[in-house]
């Protein structure tokens, strides 16, 4: 199957700082990438959908200015959590899809802890 690499796997940052998470498709061109957030013992909640070269589409209730998404190439999307606060602490997971495949492939996830 296709491989999606997410980095870092975990990060601890101070409140008020920004954190960037990278999602790379290693062996295919990802026309679409999805960013999810998962709080403990809850399911994955879609935050936004990003298409290469265009602006991301955010789900209702997700702040665009706080969660900046960039999908500059067909193999890389980044999520930047700006001015992070403790309530942003969560597990962030990306998935990548490409034309012709229904299945999207998941990255390993990033555990963000804001202290």
Partner 1 sequence: GQNIDQPTEMTATEGAIVQINCTYQTSGFNGLFWYQQHAGEAPTFLSYNVLDGLEEKGRFSSFLSRSKGYSYLLLKELQMKDSASYLCAVIKAAGNKLTFGGGTRVLVKP
* CA–CA separation, 48 and 29 (whole Å): 19
Minimum distance from residue 111 beta carbon to partner 1 (Å):
7
Cα separations in angstroms, 76 against 22, 29, 82, 89, 114:
7, 9, 19, 23, 24
Site membership for partner 1, residue 5 (CB under 8 A): no
Site membership for partner 1, residue 93 (CB under 8 A): yes
According to CB under 8 A, which one of 3, 26, 72, 101 is a site residue for partner 1?
101
Nearer to partner 1, 17 or 39 (CB): 39
According to CB under 8 A, which one of 49, 70, 80, 89 is a site residue for partner 1?
49
- Rule CB under 8 A: which of 11-40 touch partner 1? 32, 34
Site membership for partner 1, residue 78 (CB under 8 A): no
Mention every residue, 6+ apart, whose C-beta is less than 8 A from residue 112. 10, 11, 13, 19, 21, 81, 84, 88, 89, 90, 91, 92
């Amino acid at each position: 199957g296709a491989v999606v690499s997410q980095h870092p796997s975990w990060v601890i940052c101070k409140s008020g700082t920004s954190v960037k998470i990278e999602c790379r498709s290693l062996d295919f061109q990802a026309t679409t990438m999805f960013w999810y957030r998962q709080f403990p013992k809850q399911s994955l909640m879609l935050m936004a959908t990003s298409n290469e070269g265009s602006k991301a589409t955010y789900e209702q209730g997700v702040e665009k200015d706080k969660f900046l998404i960039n999908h500059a190439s067909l193999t890389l999307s980044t999520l930047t959590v700006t001015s992070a606060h403790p309530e942003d602490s969560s597990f962030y997971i990306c998935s990548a899809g490409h034309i012709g495949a229904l299945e999207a492939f998941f990255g390993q996830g990033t555990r963000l802890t804001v202290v």
